[in-house]
Amino acid sequence: MREEGINGDVYLFKNNTDSANNSYGCHENYLTTRRDEQAEYDEVLIPFLVTRQIWAGAGKIYENARGGAGFSISQRAAHIWEGVSSATTRSRPIINSRDEPHADAERFRRLHVIVGDSNMSEYAAFLKVGACGLILRMLEEPNVVFRDMTLENPIRAIREISNDLTCNRPVRLASGREMSPLDIQREFLDRALRFAEHRETSPEEDQVLTMWEHCLTGIEQDPLSLDRECDWVAKYHLVEAYRGRHGLALSDPRVLLLDLQYHDVDRQRGLYYRMQDRGLMER
Which residues constitute the domain of residue 153? 28-222
Q: Using CA atoms, how far apart are residues 165 and 283, in angstroms rounded to an integer?
A: 24
pLDDT at 96: 92
> Is 94:253 a contact under the CB 8 Å cutoff?
no
pLDDT at 68: 85
Q: Any residues with CB less than 8 A from the CB of 88 and at least 6 apart, and which?
A: 25, 96, 98, 114
Residue 129 lies in a domain: yes
The least confident of 2-6, 54-58, 129-133 is: 2-6
Mean pLDDT of the chain: 95
User: In total, how many domains does the chain have?
Assistant: 1
Chain centre distance of CA 253: 26
Residue 262 lies in a domain: no
pLDDT at 3: 84
Q: Using CA atoms, how far apart are residues 64 and 71, in angstroms rounded to an integer?
A: 9
Residue 187 lies in a domain: yes
Given a cut of 90, is residue 99 above it in pLDDT? Answer: no
Residue 35 lies in a domain: yes
pLDDT at 44: 97
Q: Any residues with CB less than 8 A from the CB of 44 and at least 6 apart, and which?
A: 135, 139, 146
Residue 241 lies in a domain: no
Residue 18 lies in a domain: no
pLDDT at 89: 65
Residue 278 lies in a domain: no
Residue 149 lies in a domain: yes
Mean pLDDT confidence for 1-29: 89
Task: Express each pLDDT in 60-69 by its tens digit.
Answer: 999 887 878 9
pLDDT at 194: 97
Task: Express each pLDDT in 72-96 by its tens digit.
Answer: 999 999 999 999 988 766 678 999 9
